[in-house]
Structure 1
């Protein structure tokens, strides 16, 4: 598992990773996107 974390850390340091992080932060700030994510996570966890 630590190998996966290391690879994720390395990816976030690349320009492409930085763009992905910025995009995720913008999506997290949007209330509509936040509600969609909450609904999806609830569905994945087995709740509705």
Structure 2
């Protein structure tokens, strides 16, 4: 599905995409947010097994 990948690439290059990327980077540098994400992904992985 090259159409979807092209749309994602275009979004990440847009000002709005850059803002979202910046917010994600800021959240990932916060230890509390990182732990929340770790727990969430752990639940998702555990729930699928």
TM superposition score category, shorter chain reference:
0.7 to 0.9
Higher Cα Rg, which structure: 2
* Gap runs ≥5 in structure 2: none
* Gap runs ≥5 in structure 1: none
Using structure 1 for the length normalisation, give the TM-score. 0.83
Q: Which protein is richer in helix relative to its size?
A: 2
Using structure 2 for the length normalisation, give the TM-score. 0.81
User: How many matched pairs?
Assistant: 47
Stretches of 4+ aligned residues off by more than 4 angstroms: none
